Amino acid sequence: MRERVAVYCGTRNLYGDMVTAAKSLLYHKGADKVWFLIEDDVFPHEIPDCISTMNVSGQTYFREDGPNYHQHWTYMVLMRAALAHIFPQYDRVLSLDCDTIVNQNIDGIWDTDLTGKYYAGVREMLPGHEYDQPYCNFGVIMLNLAQLRDGTEDRVIDLLNTKHYHFNEQEAYREVVKDAFVTLPPEYNVLYYSTAAASTTGAKIIHYANHPRSENVMLFRKYARKTWDAVLAHESTGRYV
């Protein structure tokens, strides 16, 4: 059985949200292995053994003088366009934003058939924007790293180093990949600012995009209170304490 690997990328100001987001994922047994891509050698929070950290502050994929490096988005979002290089040992990974909460079982996402496709994600149409190609929100994205190693990831990295995008890597991927992706059901990325987020019923992953203070969101507070001990006890006993 393929190891289920999830990745979160975040600068220091996002470490707290990163831990809470991962707690929600592990609470629902949503991954076997989790990676935190961070900008320090030592992570300042206690984390279980199934989570590993990697300092990518010295990365060489994206130029600091590039058009997408210094923006209102953290440069860490660009790391999602280099995961096939960063993780040569994996064929696929689930990349999640730090402002997401896994609120239900997500086993179905791991069964997605990515044969001949580059990624799987939930389609999004931003208000007032019309796109010639289908568009996915990269807050929750299953990346087919094996397929991306055919040169596609290198082309995306080149574009991000030479051309400005408002939504960085997700727009660059759309330009290169076009429609060679799989559409996931909308419950895997329910955006906070969409009408579908008015109720969390049926939402497997809730994405609090553009929310100014995620710690004030009820579900973030709920999972922030859950301890790693409870997660580990569930893994060994099958119940939460």
Residue 111's pLDDT is 93
Q: Residue written as tokens 């580990």?
A: 232
Sheet of 5-9: strand order equals 51-55, 33-38, 5-9, 92-96, 136-144, 119-123, 182-183
Q: Which neighbouring-strand residues pair with 53?
A: 36
The whole domain housing 219 covers 5-236
Residues 6 or more apart whose CB falls under 8 angstroms from that of 230 comprise 27, 240, 241
Question: What tokens does 170 get?
Answer: 């997700």
Section 184-205 average pLDDT: 74
Q: Residue written as tokens 């600012």?
A: 193
Residue 134's pLDDT is 66
| pTM (predicted TM-score) | 0.88
Average pLDDT of the chain is: 85
| pLDDT one-digit tens code per residue, 83-134 | 999 999 999 999 999 999 999 999 999 999 999 999 999 987 655 555 565 6
Residue 240's pLDDT is 33
Contact yes or no for 173/95 (Cβ under 8 A): no
- Assign residue 116 a region (left: φ > 0; alpha: ψ between -120 and 50; beta: otherwise): left
Task: Answer yes or no: is 219 within a domain.
Answer: yes
Count of C-beta atoms within a 10 Å radius of residue 13: 9
Residue 197's pLDDT is 46
Share of the chain above pLDDT 70, in %: 81
Residue 126's pLDDT is 57
What is the Cα gyration radius of the chain?
A: 17
CATH number of the domain bearing residue 25: 3.90.550.10
Structurally, the chain folds into a number of domains equal to: 1
Task: Answer yes or no: is 25 within a domain.
Answer: yes
Task: Answer yes or no: is 124 within a domain.
Answer: yes
CA separation, residue 173 to residues 56, 82, 115, 197 (Å): 21, 11, 17, 26
Task: Answer yes or no: is 45 within a domain.
Answer: yes
Task: Answer yes or no: is 241 within a domain.
Answer: no
Angstrom distance (rounded) from CA 33 to CA 10: 17
Angstrom distance (rounded) from CA 36 to CA 196: 29
- φ, ψ for residue 78, nearest 5 deg: -70, -25
Task: Answer yes or no: is 105 within a domain.
Answer: yes
